[in-house]
Amino acid sequence: MIRIIPAIDLIGGKCVRLSQGDYARGKIYNENPLDVARMFEDCGISMLHLVDLDGARSGSPANLGILETIAARTSLKVEFGGGLKDETALESAFDAGACRAICGSVACSAPELFGAWLHRYGSDRLVLGADARDGMVAVNGWKDNTSVKLEDLLHTFLPEGLRTAIVTDISRDGMLSGPSVELYIQLMSRFPELEIVASGGVGSLKDVEALDNAGVASVIVGKALYEGRISMKELAAVQEGSLIR
């Protein structure tokens, strides 16, 4: 059964969602991320996807206090990303309570460093955030396109022990238009040793079911939850295994 990982994206300490990674097309959904995290916790969720969009844009974490609060005041395991470009920032995220860190930009700009982190911290604590637009990786809060192909990025870190990659199709993120199911099928076939976590485009429970039927183990869901396209009742039912089999 597929696992839903709800997302909280942070700008200025508030819960927001962007459309296609565009900071100018952001919408504030809640001013208290702890309340949102507790709402997900009440649905039986075990892991939260927390992204510091301020940190992703500036290059250094800016919302570690919120990470610390959620980690300390809920039972949720929190995976955290945004601005983790040096070891000081990485350690600060772990110190604030992150169970695992999501790194994307540094994997492109300093692959040797990210490879060293995988060896030092382990594949259970380091996750590759592979965000792509038209098959090419984008970094720095999706502002900057690179010449790195998505599949090449994944392949680079297999020898270093990478085991989990969150793959986001930027063109679909926040659009509620359906996920790139074929992309994930292709990646799972190409990289059977990796857990490919789907991200971007989920607009309904049927989209989650389509990913589940394709064999995807986990999916990150954000806007569909905030817009009520997937209700809290449905989210709780998925966790109990009573909606998706």
For residue 89, give the CATH number of its domain: 3.20.20.70
What mean pLDDT is predicted for residues 125-131? 96
Whether pLDDT at 37 is above 50: yes
**Structural domain span for residue 224:** 3-240
Q: Report the b/e string of 149-179 with b at 16+ CB within 10 A.
A: ebeebbebbeebebbbbbbbbbebbbbbebb
Give a yes or no: residue 116 inside a domain.
Answer: yes
Cα distance between residue 134 and residue 94, in whole Å: 32
Give a yes or no: residue 245 inside a domain.
Answer: no
Give residue 10's Cα distance to chain centre.
Answer: 13
Give a yes or no: residue 46 inside a domain.
Answer: yes
Give whole-number Cα distances, 170 to 77, 129, 174, 198, in Å: 25, 12, 9, 12
Whether pLDDT at 187 is above 50: yes
pLDDT number for residue 145: 81
Q: Residue 48 has which token pair?
A: 């939260």
Is there a catalytic annotation at residue 131? yes
Give a yes or no: residue 61 inside a domain.
Answer: yes
Q: What is the Cα gyration radius of the chain?
A: 16
Give a yes or no: residue 33 inside a domain.
Answer: yes
Give whole-number Cα distances, 169 to 13, 49, 81, 136, in Å: 25, 16, 17, 10
Is there a catalytic annotation at residue 207? no
Residue-wise pLDDT tens digits, 140-178? 766 778 889 999 999 999 999 999 999 998 888 777 889
Give a yes or no: residue 236 inside a domain.
Answer: yes
For β-strands 100-103 and 126-133, DSSP reports them as parallel
Cα distance between residue 101 and residue 129, in whole Å: 9
Phi, psi of 138 (to 5 degrees): -120, 150
Instruction: Name residue 189's amino acid.
Output: S
Q: Quick one: which of 224, 55, 73 has its CA closest to 235?
A: 224
Please write down the HEC assignment for all residues of 24-52.
EEEEEEECCHHHHHHHHHHCCCCEEEEEE
Whether pLDDT at 206 is above 50: yes
**Residue the block writes with tokens 């998706």:** 244
Task: Write down the catalytic residue from 54, 131, 173, 212.
Answer: 131
Give a yes or no: residue 225 inside a domain.
Answer: yes
Q: Tally the domains of the chain.
A: 1
Position 179 confidence tier, pLDDT thresholds 50, 70, 90: very high
What mean pLDDT is predicted for residues 212-225? 96
pLDDT number for residue 142: 65
